[in-house]
Amino acid sequence: MPVRPLFVTRFFEEAIGSPALLADLEASCRALAQDDTAGRRWCREQGYPGYTSYASLDDLPVRDPAFADLKRLLDRQVAAFAAASFMDLPRKLKLDSFWVNILKPGGTHSGHIHPHSVVSGTFYVIVPEGAGGLKLEDPRLPLMMAAPTRTDDAPEESRPFVYMAPAPGRVFLWESWLRHEVPAGRGKSDRISISFNYS
């Protein structure tokens, strides 16, 4: 019986960071976590399990050359992803938010989307063994009503959830409407990543 996939959700993954850039970014992320009192206060108030600059700093590529180097790499990858996704854009996508995440062992980030953006992603700086990955949700899930579960051997494109394993120097890109989360991992040390949105 002929069957073909429809309504494809594209996901991009590539290793882009050099060891020197990763070392610089780790030092910069840890320095921010120490110096950013507004960010630490926000994390305490929100119950964030670690540190994020999400609500406190919006100028990382201007503030630090390591973040500027990463932005240049991401600009190229996002442009390639947009082209591979057949996006008919009136102009080039532009980075509009860029933030550090230092997730403590056992920390999670519940399911969410990134409104008002076109492409979102995460670049991984430090990923301890057993750290939580990225869980992606089939965007049709709320519409499935009486749909049966899938068999254990279902291919990736037929599963309701897909788990992506991060690694240092790897970037993940997806369209911003795709719901995703970070489940709790078994890592024994901090998981450091840098997330971003392009609009």
Give the global pTM.
0.95
Q: Which of 1, 2, 17, 6 is nearest to 157 (CA)?
A: 6
What's the pLDDT band for 61 if we cut at 50, 70, 90?
very high
> How far is Cα 114 from Cα 103, in angstroms, rounded to an integer?
19
What is the structure's pLDDT at 87? 98
Pairing mode, strands 161-164 and 134-137: antiparallel
- Find all residues with CB under 8 Å of 23, minimum gap 6, and list them: none
CATH tag, 11-198? 2.60.120.620
Q: pLDDT, tens digit, for every residue of 64-80?
A: 999 999 999 999 999 99
Q: Indicate the domain borders of the chain.
A: 11-198
Residue appearing with tokens 């040390």: 189
CA 92 to each of CA 70, 83, 113: distance values in angstroms, whole numbers, following the listed order: 18, 10, 22
d(CA 105, CA 144) in angstroms, rounded, equals 34
- For residue 145, what pLDDT is reported? 86
Nearest to 32, CA basis, from 95, 88, 100, 84 = 100
The answer to whether 42 touches 101, Cβ cutoff 8 Å, is: no
Find, among 85, 75, 68, the residue nearest to 12 by Cα: 85
Higher pLDDT, residue 121 or 142: 121
User: Of 11, 21, 20, 14, which Cα lies nearest the Cα of 71?
Assistant: 21
Mean pLDDT over residues 7-31, rounded? 97
